């Protein structure tokens, strides 16, 4: 039985193991190697050591893309977290018609990325778009939105906030898991809504907040579609997101070696950031040890 | 969880808070619904804008202040937009890719999850941990070599690069599905397997006739998310498909957008047509969607 089990076990895990080797480990190693070469597509790669990485230091657009992406992450992640947490709090108040409300707030996340982008190009249209039409009706000046250097990234942050539904549903599930007796304990001690929030809800929700934070940071660091379809990195490189820059280097300028170096640098940046987040998490994330399996 | 929470809740109601709290409570409820309404307006407005624009004549669209009710309803936006490019064909292409990917993912991921949860073999947990470590990897790292590999194999402009990886569970987001299914499989009593083994069943039989039928909710969740993932994918088709004949909906919409830059009626009609199937799917399978998202969040 034991031998049979081992044989079946490996056999059944084989597609997954092979997939990991062929589509993850293999390409990872390959791109690590490519990052050390000068390689145009069609020609054969020639080894140049760390030159690509050295070239990045002097590459203004690399720094620009890094700061643009960081700006986007720093704006979009907290905003989405706050909005989705607030709405989840509202929905957790024994609301009537919960599933309808939940559907409403979840709907935007279903919109396919490209349809989403096309729709928002029209919403951002400075002449007849939704936003400027509303602003003008309210007697306020319109904005150039994605068409001006200073407002392009904030516009995309607003757009990303529209899709807060996923995060919200996860928060809502977390809120529903907060034990009732903790709220009662605070009430018995004479604490009001604010203290219940501050001393029970928030601490109990820190693991969920942390999860959404990490997922959000890793996700926003890899933003691509908006830059590719909406802005083409412009105006004046204002929305030159990292992965878009990488894509352009690889598939427009066919500098595969340099693009691979960009990819590995992104990987390392994400690793460092998540490492820092996890280290910092010890200070504020509450993990209930009792009952943990 | 609910079994514990429910009696507590009734008790707190039985104790009845001090009388002074009664009136503010009603205001609080009104305030609550006002806040929810206020929140849903900006959430729904883009959809309203989409539908309104999809049904409007251009002349009506470019007036200020904006009008909200199309007059007349320009249904021809849909028929014209959807025939200027072969969206029917794109729809079929997308469907084929999505269905092949879903079948591959569900089969290979659940087989692997079965192995990782219900069969004991040496090195199992190490291998699983290794696979899981791949989840954090940004897709950009594997993008270029994978592209070159398919190019060398002559698979560009076919659906091979978009479907074959899903038959090797570990590729891309697949690992996450294995994780999800494994968590679910672990909740099924192991006595069932043991009884079957005593009767001489093979592991495959246990998997196929015992574990799989009991895991429908988890399988539906994986099906839905894989389907949506492939349906909405843009980068993959953008890299691998060149001939317009082979375009997916996302790719078709992007090229349509670059050609009809200012034809907002057409663009919105085409977008609405791309969005509609997913939204329809959601309404049918709503419960599983929410359960799925919840599952992905909580289990971490």
pLDDT tens, residue by residue, B241-253: 999 899 999 999 9
Mean pLDDT over A167-191 rounds to 86
Q: Is the pLDDT of residue B23 over 80?
A: no
Distance CA A198, CA A204 (A): 10
- Residue-level pLDDT at B172: 62
Per domain, the residue ranges of chain B are 8-76, 85-259
> How far apart, in Å, are the Cα atoms of B279 and each of A21, A104, A186, B284?
36, 11, 42, 9
User: Within A177-290, where are the H helices?
Assistant: 180-188, 193-196, 202-220, 225, 242-247, 256-284
Contact residues on chain B for A264, CB-CB shorter than 8 A: 141
Structure-model confidence comparison of residues B86 and B171, the more confident one = B86
> How far apart, in Å, are the Cα atoms of B176 and each of A29, B99, B238?
22, 19, 24
pLDDT tens, residue by residue, A59-107: 999 999 999 999 999 999 999 999 999 999 998 888 888 888 888 898 8
Contact residues on chain A for B114, CB-CB shorter than 8 A: 12
> How far apart, in Å, are the Cα atoms of A106 and each of A111, A176, B130?
10, 17, 33
Q: Do A229 and B144 touch (CB under 8 A)?
A: no
pTM of the predicted model as reported, rounded to 2 decimal places: 0.86
Q: Do A169 and B294 touch (CB under 8 A)?
A: yes
- Residue-level pLDDT at B1: 35
Q: Which H helix or E strand runs over A161?
A: helix A152-161
Quote the tokens at residue A117: 């982008």
Mean pLDDT over B248-261 rounds to 88
Evaluate whether A226 touches A68 at the Cβ level (below 8 Å): no
Distance CA A32, CA A52 (A): 11
Question: Collapsing DSSP states into helix, strand and coil, what is residue A148?
Answer: coil
Query: Rg of the Cα trace of chain B?
Result: 25
Mean pLDDT over B217-227 rounds to 86
- Residue-level pLDDT at A137: 85
- Name the residue among B5, B43, B145 with its Cβ closest to that of A27: B145
Mean pLDDT over B162-187 rounds to 84
- Residue-level pLDDT at B80: 84
Residue B75: band (very low, low, confident or very high) from pLDDT cuts 50, 70, 90: confident
**The length of chain A, given as a count of residues:** 293
Mean pLDDT of chain B: 84
Which pairs from B92-99 meet CB under 8 Å and 24+ separation? B93/B159, B93/B246, B93/B247, B93/B248, B93/B249, B94/B230, B94/B231, B94/B248, B94/B249, B94/B250, B96/B159, B97/B159, B97/B162, B97/B163, B97/B230, B97/B248, B98/B226, B98/B227, B98/B230, B98/B231
- Residue-level pLDDT at A229: 87
DSSP single-letter state for residue A110: G
Q: Is the pLDDT of residue A217 over 90?
A: yes
Mean pLDDT over A266-289 rounds to 86
- Site from B2, B46, B137, B173 to mutate, A interface, most A CB atoms within 10 angstroms: B46
pLDDT tens, residue by residue, B89-145: 999 999 999 999 999 999 999 999 999 999 999 999 999 998 888 877 888 899 999
- Name the residue among A31, A108, A174 with its Cβ closest to that of B142: A31
| Residues within 8 A of A (CB atoms), B 29-68 only | 29, 32-33, 35-36, 39-40, 42-47, 49-50, 53, 61-62, 64-66
pLDDT tens, residue by residue, A122-156: 899 888 888 988 898 888 888 889 998 899 999 99
Class of the domain covering B85-259? mainly alpha
Q: Do A169 and B290 touch (CB under 8 A)?
A: yes
- Residue-level pLDDT at B3: 38
- How many Cβ atoms sit within 10 Å of the Cβ of residue A47? 11
Q: How many CA atoms lie within 13 A of A81 on its CB side?
A: 19
Q: Which of A157, A203, A194, A196 is nearest to A180 (CA)?
A: A196
Evaluate whether B62 touches A128 at the Cβ level (below 8 Å): yes
Place of tokens 């539906």: B220
Do you find a cis peptide bond into B65, omega within 30 degrees of 0? yes
Q: Is the pLDDT of residue A293 over 60?
A: no
Query: Domains of chain A (ranges plus CATH)?
Result: 59-284 (1.10.3720.10)
pLDDT tens, residue by residue, A222-266: 999 888 888 888 788 889 999 999 999 999 998 999 999 999 999
Of all residues in chain A, the percent with pLDDT exceeding 90 is 46
Distance CA B157, CA B238 (A): 10
| For helices B286-298 and A165-176, angle between their N-to-C axes, nearest 10 degrees | 70
Distance CA A4, CA A94 (A): 53
Evaluate whether A71 touches A153 at the Cβ level (below 8 Å): yes
Evaluate whether A12 touches B111 at the Cβ level (below 8 Å): yes
Q: At a CB cut-off of 8 Å and minimum separation 6, what does A120 contact?
A: A159, A230, B46
Q: Do A107 and B121 touch (CB under 8 A)?
A: no
Q: What is the DSSP string of A8-61?
A: HHHHHHHHHHHHHIIIIIHHHHHHHHHTTEE-BTTSPPEE-TTHHHHHHHT-HH
- Name the residue among A23, A106, A246 with its Cβ closest to that of B165: A23
Q: Which ipTM did the prediction report?
A: 0.85
């Amino acid at each position: 039985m034991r031998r049979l089990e081992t044989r079946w076990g490996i056999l059944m895990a084989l597609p997954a193991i092979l997939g990991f080797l062929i589509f993850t480990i293999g390409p990872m190693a390959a791109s690590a190697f490519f990052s050390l070469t000068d390689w145009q597509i069609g020609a054969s790669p020639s080894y140049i050591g760390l030159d690509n990485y050295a070239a990045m230091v002097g590459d203004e657009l690399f720094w620009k893309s890094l700061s643009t992406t960081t700006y986007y992450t720093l704006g979009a992640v907290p905003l989405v977290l706050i909005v989705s947490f607030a709405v989840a709090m509202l929905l957790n108040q024994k609301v009537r018609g919960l599933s309808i409300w939940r559907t409403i707030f979840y709907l935007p996340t279903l919109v396919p990325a490209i349809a989403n982008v096309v729709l928002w190009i029209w919403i951002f249209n400075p002449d007849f778009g939704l936003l400027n039409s509303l602003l003008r009706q309210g007697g306020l000046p319109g904005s150039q939105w994605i068409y001006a250097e200073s407002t392009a990234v904030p516009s995309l942050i607003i757009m990303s906030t529209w899709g807060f539904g996923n995060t919200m549903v996860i928060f809502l599930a977390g809120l529903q898991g907060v034990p009732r007796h903790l709220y009662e304990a605070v009430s018995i001690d004479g604490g009001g809504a604010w203290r219940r929030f501050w001393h029970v809800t928030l601490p109990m929700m820190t693991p969920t907040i942390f999860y959404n934070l990490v997922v959000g940071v890793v996700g926003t660091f890899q933003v691509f579609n908006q830059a590719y379809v909406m802005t083409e990195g412009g105006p004046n490189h204002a929305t030159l997101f990292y992965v878009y820059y990488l894509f352009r280097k690889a598939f427009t300028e066919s500098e595969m070696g340099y693009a691979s170096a960009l990819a590995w640098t992104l990987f390392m940046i994400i690793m460092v950031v998540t490492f820092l987040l996890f280290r910092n998490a010890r200070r504020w994330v509450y993990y209930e040890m009792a009952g943990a399996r | 969880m609910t079994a514990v929470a429910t009696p507590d809740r009734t008790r707190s109601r039985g104790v009845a808070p001090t009388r002074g709290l009664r009136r503010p409570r009603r205001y609080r409820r009104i305030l609550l619904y006002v806040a929810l309404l206020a929140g849903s307006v900006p959430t729904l407005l883009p959809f309203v804008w989409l539908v309104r624009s999809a049904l409007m004549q251009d002349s009506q669209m470019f007036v200020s202040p904006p009008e909200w009710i199309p007059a007349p309803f320009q249904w021809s936006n849909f028929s014209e937009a959807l025939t200027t490019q072969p969206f029917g064909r794109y729809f079929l292409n997308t469907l084929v890719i999505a269905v092949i990917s879903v079948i591959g993912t569900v089969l290979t991921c659940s087989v692997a999850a079965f192995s990782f949860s219900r069969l004991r073999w040496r090195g199992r947990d190490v291998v699983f941990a290794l696979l899981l470590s791949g989840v954090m990897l940004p897709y950009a790292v594997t993008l270029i070599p994978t592209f070159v590999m398919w190019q060398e194999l002559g698979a560009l402009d076919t659906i091979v690069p978009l479907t074959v990886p899903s038959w090797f569970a570990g590729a891309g987001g697949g690992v996450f599905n294995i994780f999800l299914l494994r968590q679910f499989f672990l909740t099924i009593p192991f006595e069932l397997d043991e009884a079957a083994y005593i009767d001489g069943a093979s592991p495959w039989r246990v998997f196929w006739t015992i574990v799989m039928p009991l895991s429908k909710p988890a399988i539906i969740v994986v099906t839905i998310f894989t389907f949506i993932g492939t349906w909405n994918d843009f980068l993959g088709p953008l890299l691998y498909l060149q001939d317009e004949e082979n375009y997916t909906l996302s790719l078709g919409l992007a090229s349509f957008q670059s050609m009809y830059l200012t034809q907002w009626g057409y663009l919105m009609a085409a977008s609405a047509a791309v969005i509609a199937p997913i939204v329809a799917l959601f309404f049918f399978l709503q419960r599983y969607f929410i359960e799925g998202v919840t599952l992905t969040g909580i289990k971490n």
